[in-house]
Amino acid sequence: MNFIKMHGAGNDFIVFEDFKNQYNDLSMIAKKLCNRRFGIGADGILVARKSQVADIEMIIINADGSYAAMCGNGIRCFAKFVYEQGYVSKETMKIQTGDGIKIADLIFSKGDIQGVKINMGKPSFDCKDFKANYNENIINKRFNVGGKEYILTSLLMGVPHTVIIDDGDNFNVNEGSKIEKHELFVEGTNVNFCKIKNDSHIEVKTWERGAGPTLACGTGCCASVVATNKLGFVKKSVTVDAPGGRLFIEITDSGVMMTGPAENICAGDTYIL
């Protein structure tokens, strides 16, 4: 298997093509490749396959072998990968994901890809969409989780996300582990701890479902902007600082727009045994 390792704001992935559908157990492959001691090491794998409805299909598997419908940092890396490898020659491309078709716009500077802009689609606060055991929207609601109180706002931003405002450094990102698996969330949730700097700038630390603490989570940054805008803290155009880098998020009528970096780390080949 030939691969390229990439990162988007520190969220890292092993990316490869499988146009002949020869890799049947992607869960096993992800767990082996993503292991940081006994494998290459990454937060997940991104697999390119042919699509009947878009320019190409992206399959995302987390480091623990679980499937993810969407990944914001991953899709930026994926768009750069398929363009540079010649699999897609369009500078604006349609990518099939588990959360539908996403539009990726490559951003060039002096002939090189400097970033990627993605239309991440529209969010939903409907509990049925992210399968929560609750009879109303979870917006600024207080819950006791593991003996500690949290004020949660939850939504679907391609995948389930929960946002917690943490302006007093009262929480550690590792607390996301117990919220992720709380009985409130049937399929789990990503957890974002958000600090408001001003009405156009926030900081976000994410506990990612299936991966743990990550240096950045694209869907999490989008969800954090949507949630904090809903709560009246920020405007519709927001700079988001994650531990691994900076993203720019804009809420528009056509969807949530995410712009950020995508970087190659290394290339190589490996055996799947």
pLDDT in tens, 47-96: 999 999 999 999 999 999 999 999 999 999 999 999 999 999 999 999 99
Given the residues 71, 77, 221, 222, the one annotated as active site: 71
Other beta carbons less than 10 A from residue 227's beta carbon: 27
Give CATH 3.10.310.10 domain extents, the chain: 2-119+260-269, 141-253
3 state SS of 238: strand
Predicted pLDDT at 169: 85
Residue pair 63/37 in contact by the 8 Å Cβ criterion: no
Domain 2-119+260-269: what homologous superfamily? Diaminopimelate Epimerase; Chain A, domain 1 (3.10.310.10)
Is 24 marked as binding a ligand?
A: no
Is 36 marked as binding a ligand?
A: no
Residue 273 banded pLDDT, cuts 50, 70, 90: low
Over residues 20-39, the mean pLDDT reads 96
Predicted pLDDT at 167: 87
Looking at every residue in the chain, the average pLDDT score rounds to 97
DSSP symbols for 26-53: HHHHHHHHH-TTTSS--SEEEEEE--SS
Given the residues 34, 127, 194, 217, the one annotated as active site: 217
Residue pair 5/15 in contact by the 8 Å Cβ criterion: yes
Is 11 marked as binding a ligand?
A: yes
Looking at the predicted structure, is the pLDDT value of residue 100 above 70?
Answer: yes
| Fold adopted by 141-253 | Diaminopimelate Epimerase; Chain A, domain 1 (3.10.310)
Q: What is the pLDDT of residues 205-252, one digit of tens each?
A: 999 998 999 999 999 999 999 999 999 999 999 999 999 999 999 999
221 is known as an active-site residue: no
Q: What is the pLDDT of residues 110-154, one digit of tens each?
A: 999 999 999 999 999 999 999 999 999 999 999 999 999 999 999
Cα four-point dihedral sign 79, 224, 139, 211: positive
194 is known as an active-site residue: no
Is 39 marked as binding a ligand?
A: no
